[in-house]
Amino acid sequence: MDANAVRTLRTRAFFHQFPQGEAPESYYAYAAGKIDSPWTEATRDKWTAAQPEAIQVELGKKHDDALLDARIADVAEQAGRNGTPWVLVGGPPCQAFSLAGRARNLGNEGYIAEHDERHFLYRHYLRLLSRYRPAAFVLENVRGMLSSRIWGELLFDDIFQQLQRPGGPKGPRYRIEPLVVREAAGRVPEPSDFLVFSEVLGVPQTRHRVILIGVLEPDFPRIKPLMPSTKSATVGEMIGGLPPLRSSLTDRETQDWPSFASKLLTRTAKAACKTDAATAQLLAELAERGASAPDAGVGGRWVSWNPSAALPAHLKCLMHDPRLKGVLQHFTRGQMQSDLMRYAYAAAYARVHGRSPRGAAEFPVALHPNHESWKKSSHFVDRFKVQRADAPSSTITSHLAKDGHYFIHPDPSQLRSLSVREAARLQTFPDNYLFEGPPVSQRKQVGNAVPPYLAQQIASVIHETLA
């Protein structure tokens, strides 16, 4: 239902009209912002063919539901003619299920969970399963789906039962299995068995999501679940090869960034003296070096750079593009000086202590934000979260579009939050993947996505079962 996401998917669908490694130069020129369209007259037919790959609809609207049904009916009919199994992939919106969303909803006067239609959009999914009977389905959602209650009952139990027999006794029958191998094979799956920990599957991010895989019975065998991976990746391995940046400022102009940054780090060090001496010492050392450091700039849609191929081996094939001679969408957001000081302190603290500062007690008083929520430190223990270089990142979420406080860069001298490209790398998007729309939409799209490397593993499991 998001117009910019539709544009992104159509642009990517055009890229996939060509064999791997053979996308036209016009795509790369467009991605770099050098021309206004990814296609030329020579590739107009490919662009036209890509457009139906994404449609803009909103579930629950009569016209949109009819449009979606027609599109899925067409896919199912073509698959039937070709004798090819097809798969339905999706998931209800997560805002009604997520722990953060539920906390916000409780603060809304008059909010009644039973009246929030987002809780029940899974019924559209059931209708599509019942009507079109795909060979398999994938349903993804946040972990809060396991604990969400309606009328005092766990909603997940109802969803799980209905997914096994969408349409009732006369509908198709699906066997629902966990994606990752369980400790005791053969036992009846429990709700927690469907919670997937991305970091144990080689994703450089602690993203925990509910993933249900349903296979049509009795047509297809049981899936072969994934084993926990020995592959791992850290924030430093994923973004360390990208060019350094610095924030732009929203509350002043500066013609001499190195001098400004050095003074800001010095002020932060002084503020930190009474709270954490080791962090203050590190900030002071960075301030001395900062005065002579070059201005890294704030980046942009295209940053000329010799892209580092030093990604973890298991991700390089998916993410690295040797034809890409720069970095896409690597830019920072504007920040107030006060936030930059908080970022500097938090990043330096994390480098010293191996974790982000927790709440007001570990933050210098001079750096405390001036709003009531900060005083409730028990609720905001990680209000400023650093993505440590030596560990997987925390969950990349759509909150990235609101501010960068949860996504502070691990290098305290860069004084910034993550760029769109850095967040995309932590999500394992290919480096040549272009997000359409303004920066706020780009960040939202990155945060709402399932990591492509995880999606690839899900696809391999299903493909092996249906092949």
How high is the pLDDT of residue 189?
A: 81
What's the whole-model pTM score?
A: 0.91
Residue with token string 């001496």: 277
What is each CA distance from 29 to 5, 26, 298, in whole angstroms? 21, 5, 21
| pLDDT value of position 292 | 80
Task: Indicate the SS3 state at residue 335.
Answer: strand
pLDDT given for residue 255 in this prediction: 81
Q: Please report, for residues 146, 175, 192, 216, 382, the alpha-carbon distance to residue 157 in angstroms, rounded to integers and kept in the order given.
A: 8, 15, 12, 20, 32
φ/ψ of 138, rounded to 5, equals -130, 125
Q: What local confidence, expressed as pLDDT, does residue 111 receive?
A: 43
Assigned token pair, 459: 């696809």
The b-or-e profile of 115-149 (16+ CB within 10 A means b, else e) is eeebbeebbbbbebbbebbbbbbbbbbbbbbbebe
The topology (CATH level 3) of 87-230+452-466 is: Rossmann fold (3.40.50)
Per residue of the chain (467 residues), give pLDDT as tens.
999 999 999 999 999 999 999 999 999 999 999 999 999 999 999 999 999 999 999 988 999 999 999 999 999 999 999 999 999 998 776 555 555 554 554 555 654 554 556 556 788 889 999 999 999 999 998 888 888 776 667 888 888 999 999 989 899 999 999 999 876 656 778 889 999 999 999 999 999 999 999 999 999 999 999 999 999 999 999 999 999 999 988 887 888 999 999 999 999 999 999 999 999 999 999 999 987 888 999 999 999 987 666 799 999 999 999 999 899 999 999 999 999 999 999 999 999 999 999 888 899 999 988 776 666 555 556 689 999 999 999 999 999 999 999 999 999 999 999 999 999 999 999 999 999 999 999 999 999 999 999 999 999 999 999 99
In the chain, where the domains are located: 87-230+452-466, 235-434
- Per DSSP, the residues of 336-373 read -HHHHHHHHHHHHHHHHHSS---TGGGS-GGG--SSHH
Closest CA to 194 of 208, 176, 178: 178
* Locus of tokens 């969970």: 113
How many Å apart are CA 146 and CA 149, to the nearest integer?
Answer: 9
Q: Evaluate whether 226 touches 461 at the Cβ level (below 8 Å).
A: yes
Distance CA 280, CA 265 (A): 9
Contacts by 23-29, CB closer than 8 A, 24 or more apart:
23/323, 23/432, 28/323, 28/324, 28/432
DSSP state at residue 406: T
5 token code pair? 């996401």
Contact 194, 211 (CB under 8 A): yes
Residue 50 and residue 17 in contact, taking contact as beta carbons nearer than 8 Å: yes
The reported pLDDT for the residue numbered 102 is: 45
If we measure between CA atoms, which residue out of 248, 445, 454, 279 comes closest to residue 363?
A: 279
